[in-house]
Amino acid sequence: MRTTLRASALALAFATMSTIVLAPAAAAAAPDCTWQVSPVTAPDGYDPAYLQVTGADGKGNYSGYHASSNPVLVRWQQGVPHIQKNPAGMRYATSGDMNAAGVQVVNGLRTGTNVRVPLTHSPETGYRELPVPPGMSDVRAVAIADNGDVVGDAHREDNRRNVAVHWPASGAAPVVIDPPSLRLASAYEIEDDGTILLGGGYNAAVWRDGQLIAPAELSNGVLSAGLVNGKVYGTRLQDGRSWVWDVHTGNVTYREGASTTSAVNRNGLIAGQLGDSFGPVAVWQDTQFLGELPLPAGATEARVSKISDDNTVFGYTIGERRGALRWHCA
């Protein structure tokens, strides 16, 4: 599923849903390797400052879009960019999460309207439009599991309440998830067992087996970064401390010292900021600090957007020198 990273109030620019991609597990990042940074290659004729990487398959391929006034979809095969054709009948489209099979979620804007259309895209089979539940509008697809299940959100037309939506891979009718206790029910991640990460503001909850699980400790003042292997990762805003919630045991544990969590992969590689949301970007292997991530010449500040399961970290610089980045450890 991703590594949508959800869109976070900590991101000052290029805000995207952080999603975490689930793929066959790779080895954990070696503690003694050297992290290297390189720009994400832009297609010919496109300004790299406006690239956003939103999905990765964990096998060296990733996807995103060029965030201009008329967005252009891009897929990278082993680092080489290729323009992806827009869905038929769409004025433009933006991409989201990608699973291990290379299937991505896409949101298009239907030509001649302001109607947003959720879709999936596979290089082999093309686009598939996802059905909109009755009585819903402003529908958006956000994340996809390896088994093909998709989640996103929508608004009820009668009361404009935000609800989560689950599109089963089986093709069955979409399921609307609207727990009354959540002020705004949005879906950010889904795992193959059907566990869905929900949030409606600065809180964290999951929907599992038709039940809402929402610990009081995470009911306010937190940001979720992702759901991986039955654990939810995030940051407490009050003191900038990273936390991990084990959905199965209910335990919430905290990393010592101030450091935000922006993304995590299924190998336990975590990326975020040291100190606070304005600190240097850094990586951890579970609780072990691996080091700060380098920046390209001339850049002074960066953010992390997602981590692929091949342990490649994606992000972007902010300020005068903008651009999408990828970090790998060699």
Confidence bin at 31 (pLDDT 50/70/90): low
Other C-beta atoms lying within 10 Å of the C-beta of residue 215? 16
* Residue 249: burial class (beta carbons within 10 Å; 0-12, 13-18, 19+): exposed
Q: Residue 45 corresponds to which amino acid? A: G
* For residue 272, pLDDT beyond 50: yes
pLDDT digits (tens, 9 = 90+) for 219-235: 999 999 999 999 999 99
**In sequence order, which residues have a C-beta less than 8 Å from that of residue 50 and are 6 or more positions away?**
66, 67, 68, 322
pLDDT digits (tens, 9 = 90+) for 162-208: 999 999 999 999 999 999 988 889 999 999 999 999 987 899 999 99
* For residue 23, pLDDT beyond 60: no
pLDDT for the residue 207: 98
Q: What is the pTM of this model?
A: 0.90
Residues 226 and 197: beta-carbon distance below 8 Å: yes
> What is the separation, in whole angstroms, between the first and last Cα of the chain?
26
Looking at 2.60.40.10, 2.120.10.30, 3.50.50.60, 3.40.50.300, the CATH number of the domain 3-329 comes to 2.120.10.30
pLDDT for the residue 258: 82
pLDDT digits (tens, 9 = 90+) for 103-158: 999 999 999 999 999 999 999 999 999 999 999 999 999 999 999 999 999 999 99
Can you tell me the distance from the alpha carbon of 6 to that of 87, in angstroms, rounded to the nearest whole number? 24
pLDDT for the residue 256: 86
Across the chain, mean pLDDT equals 90
* For residue 43, pLDDT beyond 90: yes
pLDDT for the residue 27: 67
Can you tell me the distance from the alpha carbon of 268 to that of 135, in angstroms, rounded to the nearest whole number? 40
* For residue 22, pLDDT beyond 60: no
Confidence bin at 276 (pLDDT 50/70/90): confident
pLDDT for the residue 203: 94
Q: Where are the domains of the chain?
A: 3-329
Name the DSSP class of 31: T
